[in-house]
Amino acid sequence: MAGGLAVSSRQLAALRLLRRRLIQAVPLMLGVVVINFVLIHLAPGSFLELMTAENQVSDPATVALLRKTYGMDDPLWLQLAKYVWALLHFDFGFSYRQNMPVLQAITIHLPATLLLMVSSITLAFAVGVAAGVVASIKVRTVWDTLVSVAAMFFFAAPSFWLGIMMIVLFAVKLGWMPVGGMATIGGGGGVLDILHHLILPTLALGLFYAAIYARVMRSSMLEVSQLDFVRTARAKGLSRRQVTVGHVLRNALLPVVTILGVQMGTVLAGSVVIESVFSWPGVGSLLFDSVSSRNYPVVLGILVLGSLVVIAANIAVDLVYMWLDPRIEIR
């Protein structure tokens, strides 16, 4: 009974956090939309001209319809209001290039990107934390130096270059990995095949962040192991491993999880480049294609949806942090 009370109070706190963050997300998204809107109107030449010219729409009836849809003749504030209204109805416009609504084009490509993001973050977290822990346990030894040097290397190496080098080594020279794409063309497209294709892109994207986490984890572990409660744990007769895992590690993880949240935006951005290197059919490839073909609605749609993904990921990370650290109180 007593146990039940304590658990649900943390659940309540989690729900409160969720609610607060969702409420905070609204002005944030509004800001994104406004920025989008500003960008549209910063374009030299009218947005409509650009759209119609690039997409070779010349039929006057269509042009008039577009004019009406995008409210070109309305005052600025009305245009913004209509734009927001449209977005709320999930109307991101139409992509002539893909011949489908923008939203649909994006959501088709989204799962591939999410897969890449999740696997990269997982890799980065697992490898980074493990390396940081090892370095801190074997501080000032060869292992520590090795981890530090590796971290420096992967932190400085541009991820696209790393990806290309990996392709050269593992795909071209050794033939262990596929050169690109998400699945073997003509193959069954089974889970294993996809995972095989996922390895190099994940490494290329994730090792950069693993380097960061390794460094942070290392100094966090060293810091936490100096704290009073670690001494208490040892005085209880717990073995070094029990102390390191149960007491030091659990507390040292907190700063790393915090950083995770902050970097969500850059991870998503990084996947754009990696997708280009590995021909991974995600939103990044769509973005690249759209920028090259000047497909404005799609690019802007990706901006909005990308921000949404970042917000969602941030909330998820916050919830994880709350779960790890019972000291967080949400008023």
Partner 1 sequence: MKFDFLGRFSRNRGALVGAVVILGVALLAILAPLVYPTDPLRIVAQPELWPGEDPAYPLGTDSLGRDILAMIVHGARATLLIGLFASSVATIIGVGMGATAGYFGGWIDEIAMRAAELFQTIPNLIFVLTIVLILGSTLQNIVIAIGIVSWTPIARMTRAEFLALRDREFVQACRAMGMGNGRIILGEILPNALPPVIVLSSLVVAGAILFESAVSFLGLGDPNIASWGRLVGDGRQLIRSSWYICAIPGVAIMITVLCLNLIGDGLNDALNPKLRDR
Partner 2 sequence: MRPLEVRDLGTTLFTRRGAMKAVDGMNLSVGAGETVALVGESGCGKSLTALSIMRLLPDPPARIVGGQVILNGRDLVALPEQAMLDIRGREIGMIFQDPMSSLNPVATVGAQIAEVLAAHTDLGRRQARARVLELLDQVGMPDAERRLDAYPHQLSGGMCQRVMIAMAIACSPSVLIADEPTTALDVTVQAQVLTLLKRLQTEAGMAMIFITHDLGVVAEIADRVVVMYAGRKVEEATVDDLFEAPLHPYTAGLIGATPVPGAERAARLADIPGVVPALNELPAGCAFAPRCKRVMDRCWKEQPALTELRPGRRVACFAAELDAA
- Of the candidate residues 76, 78, 139, 227, the single one contacting partner 2 (CB under 8 A): 227
Size (the chain), residues: 331
Residue from 185, 188, 210, 201 nearest 115 by CA: 201
Q: Which stretch binds partner 1 (CB under 8 A): 37-45, 91-99, 237-245, 321-329?
A: 37-45
Q: Is 31 in the site for partner 2 (CB under 8 A)?
A: no
3-state SS class at 120: helix
Q: Which does 157 bind (CB under 5 to 8 A by kind): partner 2, partner 1, none?
A: partner 1
User: What one-character-per-residue DSSP string does 164-191 give?
Assistant: HHHIIIIIIIS--S-SSSSS-TTS---H
Q: Is 2 in the site for partner 2 (CB under 8 A)?
A: yes
- Of the candidate residues 146, 254, 291, 316, the single one contacting partner 1 (CB under 8 A): 291
Total number of residues binding partner 2 (CB under 8 A)?
26
* Residue 307 in tokens: 């921000």
Binding to partner 1 (CB under 8 A) within 103-162 occurs at: 140, 152-153, 155-162
Q: Which is nearer to partner 1, 28 or 194 (CB)?
A: 28
Cβ burial, residue 92 (10 Å; 0-12/13-18/19+) = buried
Tracing tokens 């460094």 back to the chain, one arrives at 215
Q: Which is nearer to partner 2, 9 or 266 (CB)?
A: 9
Q: Which is nearer to partner 2, 182 or 253 (CB)?
A: 253
* Residue 311 in tokens: 């917000």
Binding pattern for the stretch 300-329 against partner 1, x by CB under 8 A and - elsewhere: x-xx--xx--xx--x---------------
**Distance (Å, rounded) from C-alpha 254 to C-alpha 249?**
9
E-strand ranges in 11-101 read 94-95, 100-101
Q: Which stretch binds partner 2 (CB under 8 A): 152-160, 162-170, 242-250, 279-287?
A: 242-250
- Of the candidate residues 299, 315, 317, 322, the single one contacting partner 1 (CB under 8 A): 299
Q: Which does 6 bind (CB under 5 to 8 A by kind): partner 2, partner 1, none?
A: partner 2
- Of the candidate residues 143, 234, 288, 294, the single one contacting partner 2 (CB under 8 A): 234
Tell me whether strands 94-95 and 100-101 are parallel, antiparallel or unpaired.
Answer: antiparallel
3-state SS class at 70: coil
Residue 303 near residue 32, CB atoms below 8 Å? yes
User: What one-character-per-residue DSSP string does 191-219 give?
Assistant: HHHHHHHHHHHHHHHHHHHHHHHHHHHHH
Bridge partners, 94 (sequence order): 101
Q: Which is nearer to partner 2, 153 or 229 (CB)?
A: 229
Q: Which is nearer to partner 2, 144 or 325 (CB)?
A: 325
**Distance (Å, rounded) from C-alpha 260 to C-alpha 314?**
8
**Distance (Å, rounded) from C-alpha 61 to C-alpha 77?**
25
Which residues form the interface with partner 2 (CB under 8 A)?
2-3, 5-7, 227-229, 231-239, 242, 246-247, 250-251, 324-327
Which residues form the interface with partner 1 (CB under 8 A)?
27-28, 31-32, 35, 39-40, 42-44, 140, 152-153, 155-162, 164-165, 167-168, 172, 219, 222-223, 262, 265-266, 268-270, 272-273, 276, 287-288, 291-292, 294, 296, 299-300, 302-303, 306-307, 310-311, 314
